Amino acid sequence: MTYEQYFKRYLEMIEHKLKGLLRAREARPLSIHKAMQYAVFTGGKRFRPVLALCVCKACGGNPRDALGAALAVELIHTYSLVHDDLPALDDDDTRRGKPTCHKKFGEANAILAGDALLTLAFEWITKIKPAQRAVHVLREISKAAGTQGMIGGQVADLEAPARKKTLAEHDFISRFKTGALIRVSAAAGAIAAGATAREFQMITRYGECLGLAFQIVDDILDKDGYCKVMSIKAATQKALGLIDRAKKEAKLLGAEAKELIFLADSLRQRIPG
């Protein structure tokens, strides 16, 4: 069974909620709202929000209770892609086979669309109930999206563009730039479920391993990143080891962890060969 088939219900839930959320912003100025919608609905596996819903269920919660946090992380992830594509950063003309946001709507609107998606994410977090869980999610996501997470990793990546990075530098950048939002997706799902301290620690470790493995698999597919400092075989072994560690943490939750194990295995299946 494919990822899309297995998580069909979650994916439909996420798309329905995102469409409702973005439709509510179809007011003046229309240009910015169209740019936001374009960025959010250019495709993608919705890996992060699906992860949040899976974790919530694994920790004994109703996946719908994690929707606010799940959508917030997806909006932050989307804003980061819009900004990454800008000429000042990666300078990409296409994403997922379509013109990037700044190519479609202009650089100014792309910058503002990213800003708007970020602020909308934090507005959405305030809808989480009860309030103490909203505060906890807000604290975790803020750290993961800022200089202690995604932005910190982006800056570290920018600081050494012209020279060959070491393995330690790749690990640091990947854990922050990519891994932080994946880790916090898992953490937010646990918070939404009211997980115990022990469950939260296990889920955080699961998310950390999955997040780093996610970036390594992408690099293997692109023959970039880690593949510049190690062989594809070594990178594959590193990714597989992280996936196995993630599954080991998930299994500590018992039978309810089957979705988390499937999610890890779906990442393994992306590795060529």
For the stretch 137-172, pLDDT in tens is: 999 999 999 999 999 999 999 887 666 789 999 999
Residue 23 sits in a domain whose CATH number is 1.10.600.10
Residue 272 lies in a domain: no
What is the model's pLDDT at position 32?
Answer: 93
Residue 104 lies in a domain: yes
pLDDT of residue 9 exceeding 70: yes
Q: Residue 49's domain spans which residues?
A: 3-267
Instruction: Say how many domains are in the chain.
Output: 1
Scored b (16 or more CB within 10 A) or e, 82-99 reads bbbbbeeeeeeeebeeee
Q: What's the pLDDT tens digit per position in 249-267?
A: 999 999 999 999 999 999 9
Which residues on adjacent β-strands are paired with residue 95?
98
CA-derived radius of gyration, the chain: 18
Q: What's the pLDDT tens digit per position in 33-58?
A: 999 999 999 888 999 999 999 999 99
Considering all CA atoms of the chain, what is the largest pairwise distance in Å, rounded to the nearest integer?
52
Q: How many other C-beta atoms are found inside a 10 Å radius of the C-beta of residue 165? A: 19
Rounded alpha-carbon distances, angstroms, from residue 69 to 175, 211, 245, 267: 20, 17, 25, 22
Residue 179 lies in a domain: yes
Question: Tokens for 103?
Answer: 């190519």
Residue 37 lies in a domain: yes
Read off φ and ψ for residue 129, nearest 5 degrees: -120, 145
Q: Are residues 139 and 187 in contact, defined by beta-carbon separation less than 8 angstroms? A: no
Residue 158 lies in a domain: yes
Residue 273 lies in a domain: no
